[in-house]
Amino acid sequence: MLAARAVSIDPDDPLSGLEVADGPEPEVPDGWVVVELRAAALNRHDIFSLRGVGLRAEQLPMVLGCDGAGVDPDGNEVVVHAVIGDPDAGGGDETLDPRRSLLSERHPGTLAQRVAVPRRNLVPKPASLSWEEAACLPTAWLTAYRMLFTRSGLNPGDTVLVQGAGGGVATALIALGRAAGFRVWATSRSEEKRARAAELGAHATFESGERLPEKVDAVMETVGKATWGHSVRSLRPGGRIVVSGATTGDDPSADLTQVFFLQREVVGSTMGTRDELQRLIRFCDVTGVRPVVDAVLPLADARDGFARMLDGDLFGKVVFTV
Q: What is the pLDDT of residues 297-319, one digit of tens each?
A: 999 999 999 999 998 777 889 99
The predicted-structure confidence for 150-180, as pLDDT tens digits, reads as follows 999 999 999 999 999 888 899 999 999 999 9
Residue 139 reports pLDDT greater than 80:
yes
Assess whether 83 and 119 both reside in one domain: yes
Regarding whether 232 and 250 lie in a shared domain, the answer is yes
Q: What per-residue confidence (pLDDT) applies to 223?
A: 87
The enclosing domain of 98 has a CATH number of 3.90.180.10
Is residue 42 in some structural domain? Answer: yes
Least confident among 47-56, 207-216, 245-254, 270-279: 245-254
User: Predicted confidence band at 45 (pLDDT cuts at 50, 70, 90)?
Assistant: very high
- 210 shares its domain with 317: no
Domain assignment present for residue 275? The answer is no
Residue type, 150: T
* Residue 195 forms part of a structural domain: yes
Distance CA 320, CA 135 (A): 9
Question: In this structure, are 119 and 153 located in the same domain?
Answer: no
User: Can you give the CATH number for the domain in which 249 is found?
Assistant: 3.40.50.720
d(CA 191, CA 178): 20
* Low-confidence winner among 68-72, 143-147, 189-193 (lowest mean pLDDT): 189-193
**Three-class HEC string of the chain:** CEEEEECCCCCCCHHHHEEEEECCCCCCCCCEEEEEEEEEECCHHHHHHHHCCCCCHHHCCEECCCEEEEECCCCCEEEECCEECCHHHHCCCHHHCCCCEECCCCCCCCCECEEEEEHHHEEECCCCCCHHHHHCHHHHHHHHHHHHHHHCCCCCCCEEEECCECEHHHHHHHHHHHHCCCEEEEEECCHHHHHHHHHHCCCEEEECCCCCCCCEEEEEECCCCCCHHHHHHHEEEEEEEEECCCCCCCCCCCCHHHHHHCCCEEEECCCCCHHHHHHHHHHHHHHCCCCCEEEEEEHHHHHHHHHHHHHCCCCCEEEEEC
Looking at the structure, tell me whether residues 115 and 216 fall in a common domain.
Answer: no
Indicate the pTM of the whole model.
Answer: 0.94
129 and 158 fall within a common domain: no
In this structure, is residue 246 part of a structural domain?
A: yes
Q: Which of 212, 205, 171, 216 is nearest to 316 (CA)?
A: 171
Same domain, 21 and 119: yes
Phi, psi of 307 (to 5 degrees): -65, -40
User: Do residues 173 and 85 both lie within one domain?
Assistant: no
| Residue 86 lies in domain | 2-136+291-321
Whether residue 185 is found in the same domain as residue 206: yes
As a whole number, mean pLDDT of residues 263-284 equals 96
Does residue 284 fall inside a structural domain? no
* 126 and 169 assigned to the same domain: no
Query: What is the total count of domains within the chain?
Result: 2
Average pLDDT over residues 133-143: 96
Residues 249 and 160 in one domain: yes
Looking at the fold, whether 204 and 227 belong to one and the same domain comes out as yes
pLDDT band at residue 259, thresholds of 50, 70 and 90?
confident
Confidence at residue 6, expressed as pLDDT on a 0 to 100 scale: 98
Is the residue at 286 inside a domain? Answer: no
The rounded mean pLDDT for the chain is: 95
pLDDT level of residue 245 (50, 70, 90 thresholds): confident
pLDDT reported for residue 260? 87
